[in-house]
């Protein structure tokens, strides 16, 4: 036996190096995920169903200029009628879970009136997932409001939370037996920014004070929905998992040496990513992360209405919508939310990329980061890609193509993109097969 060389400056006999985990030989194994990991895709009612005429978005779309490419949802993906066909595709691509949202304006088309036909419809949709062995995740509110609720003042109305909770209680009772995971609300901060700050979504308001009021309302709505779902569904013999989907943005200072930029990074992280959770403590069974954005933050003293900062994305790889593509940022997004010590589910991640030249690489790069976060000890339970099919991308209309499956909206023809096959291989393997790393290299950089 040879003596180990002494480590200068260390206490003799303290062989700390051998106590560190030793690197494993690189043996080209797939990067495996925990068993039971949920692999799915996500959609939302108004973006795919078609025929939604009783919500605030329907009216908003009729006004010229509101939708950038001039489109209206119309029949959208006709998902209302074609869900079985699309679930067959998803299941055929080895997805074992699916996230969709309920259209409040179908279920409660007029105040206090419940449409039991629509309830039956959603029961059939969820049963269709069950029949394919898929885990169900249901979003209760994904941006669209019934017109009657919007007319009363939407989330600003004094009784807004009460009215929302009545709807939550109704769907809990009617559909609760078919839902595995609940998202109460989707991306409150994005809704606030679009609807109450820049005003490009209904109700088209630009007012920071009204925005902050709605922010508090949405936090309250989540907390009360959380309690309602547990009150109605606990004790029925199956776990009730309630969370929400938070758009987690990763921030970094635009000027690395600037204290002001760094301060605003802290501020933006707190406001966008964490404030909602601070208001809704202990009312989450899991954390849903929607990851799309990585922002470089620059402090600008004159930008009062933008909370004094600007976002920069120059010289970065971009999607068809000009959003920076930064899949490795999902690691930071996860680590930032890991502080709540709850299971994490990636409830959305995707890219607008019609020719699919960037999506496969982006999926693999992001999933390698998810893999590393799991190895670093974070309890991550699933990944839902946005989206299963191309769909109506809000104020951008049909020009943002987010689908694993391309849709020709004139004929409703579905054509899986290459990324659908790449993702299918990952779902089937329950991990990233080594040979897929050819898209990204062995490193984890984009």
- What does the binding site for ligand FCB look like in residue numbers (CB under 6 A)? 44, 47, 186-187, 190, 247, 290, 348, 386, 393-394, 402
Nearer to ligand FCB, 264 or 394 (CB): 394
Nearer to ligand FCB, 99 or 217 (CB): 99
Nearer to ligand FCB, 245 or 432 (CB): 245
Least separation, in Å, of the C-beta of 72 and ligand FCB? 16
The answer to whether 207 and 200 have CB atoms below 8 angstroms apart is: no
The answer to whether 51 and 75 have CB atoms below 8 angstroms apart is: yes
Nearer to ligand FCB, 61 or 393 (CB): 393
Nearer to ligand FCB, 189 or 332 (CB): 189
The answer to whether 446 and 440 have CB atoms below 8 angstroms apart is: yes
Least separation, in Å, of the C-beta of 240 and ligand FCB? 23
Determine the distance from the C-alpha atom of residue 27 to the mean position of all C-alpha atoms in its chain, rounded to a whole number: 34
Nearer to ligand FCB, 397 or 433 (CB): 397
The neighbour count for residue 1, using CB atoms within 10 Å, is: 3
Nearer to ligand FCB, 187 or 269 (CB): 187
Distance CA 138, CA 143 (A): 14
Least separation, in Å, of the C-beta of 323 and ligand FCB? 9
Least separation, in Å, of the C-beta of 111 and ligand FCB? 26
Least separation, in Å, of the C-beta of 350 and ligand FCB? 6
Nearer to ligand FCB, 261 or 348 (CB): 348
DSSP 82-95: HHHHHHHHHHHTT-
Specify the DSSP class assigned to residue 248: P
Least separation, in Å, of the C-beta of 108 and ligand FCB? 21
Determine the distance from the C-alpha atom of residue 104 to the mean position of all C-alpha atoms in its chain, rounded to a whole number: 19
Nearer to ligand FCB, 308 or 409 (CB): 409
Closest CA to 398 of 75, 56, 51: 75
Distance CA 73, CA 78 (A): 10
Least separation, in Å, of the C-beta of 326 and ligand FCB? 15
Strand, helix or coil at 296?
strand
Q: Which stretch of DSSP H or E encloses residue 298?
A: strand 294-299
The answer to whether 312 and 299 have CB atoms below 8 angstroms apart is: no
Query: How many CA atoms lie within 13 Å of 404's alpha carbon, on the beta-carbon side?
Result: 29
Least separation, in Å, of the C-beta of 69 and ligand FCB? 15
Residue listed under structure tokens 């992001």: 366
**Alpha carbon separation from 358 to 326, 343, 397, 404, 421 (Å, rounded):** 11, 29, 21, 12, 14
Least separation, in Å, of the C-beta of 18 and ligand FCB? 48
122: tokens are: 């959603």
Q: Tell me the pairing of strands 287-291 and 250-253.
A: unpaired
Least separation, in Å, of the C-beta of 2 and ligand FCB? 59
C-alpha dihedral, 298 to 302 to 304 to 305, nearest 10° = -80
Nearer to ligand FCB, 186 or 273 (CB): 186
The neighbour count for residue 312, using CB atoms within 10 Å, is: 14
């Amino acid at each position: 036996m040879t003596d180990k060389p002494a480590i200068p400056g260390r206490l003799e006999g303290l062989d700390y190096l051998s106590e560190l985990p030793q690197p494993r030989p690189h043996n080209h194994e797939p990067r495996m995920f925990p068993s039971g990991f949920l692999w799915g895709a996500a959609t939302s009612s108004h973006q795919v169903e078609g025929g939604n005429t009783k919500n605030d978005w329907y009216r908003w779309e009729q006004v010229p200029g509101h939708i950038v490419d001039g489109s209206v949802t119309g029949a959208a993906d006709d998902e209302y009628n074609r869900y079985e066909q699309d679930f067959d595709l998803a299941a055929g691509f080895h997805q074992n879970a699916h996230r969709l949202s309920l259209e409040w304006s179908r279920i409660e088309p007029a105040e206090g009136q419940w449409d039991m036909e629509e309830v039956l419809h959603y029961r059939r949709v969820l049963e269709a997932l069950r029949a394919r062995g898929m885990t169900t995740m249901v979003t209760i509110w994904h941006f669209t409001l019934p017109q009657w609720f919007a007319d009363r003042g939407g989330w600003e109305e004094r009784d807004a939370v009460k009215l929302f909770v009545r709807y939550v209680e109704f769907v809990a009772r009617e559909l609760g037996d078919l839902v595995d995971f609940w998202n109460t609300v989707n991306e409150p901060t994005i809704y606030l920014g679009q609807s109450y700050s820049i005003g490009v979504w209904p109700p088209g308001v630009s007012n920071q004070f009204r925005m902050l009021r709605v922010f508090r309302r949405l936090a309250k709505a989540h907390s009360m929905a959380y309690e309602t779902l547990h009150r109605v569904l606990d004790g029925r013999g199956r776990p009730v998992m309630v969370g929400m989907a938070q758009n987690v943005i990763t921030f970094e200072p635009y000027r690395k040496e600037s204290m002001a930029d760094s301060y605003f990074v802290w501020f933006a992280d707190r406001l966008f990513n964490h404030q909602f959770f601070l208001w809704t403590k202990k009312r989450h069974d899991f954390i849903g992360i929607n990851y799309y954005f990585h922002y470089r933050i620059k402090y600008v003293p004159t930008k009062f209405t933008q909370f004094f900062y600007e976002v920069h994305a120059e010289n970065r790889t971009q999607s068809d919508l000009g959003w920076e593509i930064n899949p490795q940022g999902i690691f930071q997004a996860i680590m930032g939310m890991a502080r709540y010590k709850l299971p994490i589910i990636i409830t959305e991640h995707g890219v607008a990329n019609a020719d699919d030249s960037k999506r496969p690489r982006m999926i693999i790069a992001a999933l390698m980061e998810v893999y590393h976060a799991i190895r670093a000890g974070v309890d991550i339970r699933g990944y839902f890609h946005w989206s299963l099919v191309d769909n109506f991308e809000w104020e951008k209309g049909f020009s943002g193509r987010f689908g694993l499956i391309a849709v020709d909206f004139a004929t409703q023809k579905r054509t899986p993109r290459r990324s659908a096959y790449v993702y299918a291989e990952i779902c089937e393997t329950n991990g990233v097969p080594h040979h897929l790393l050819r898209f990204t290299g062995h490193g984890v950089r984009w």
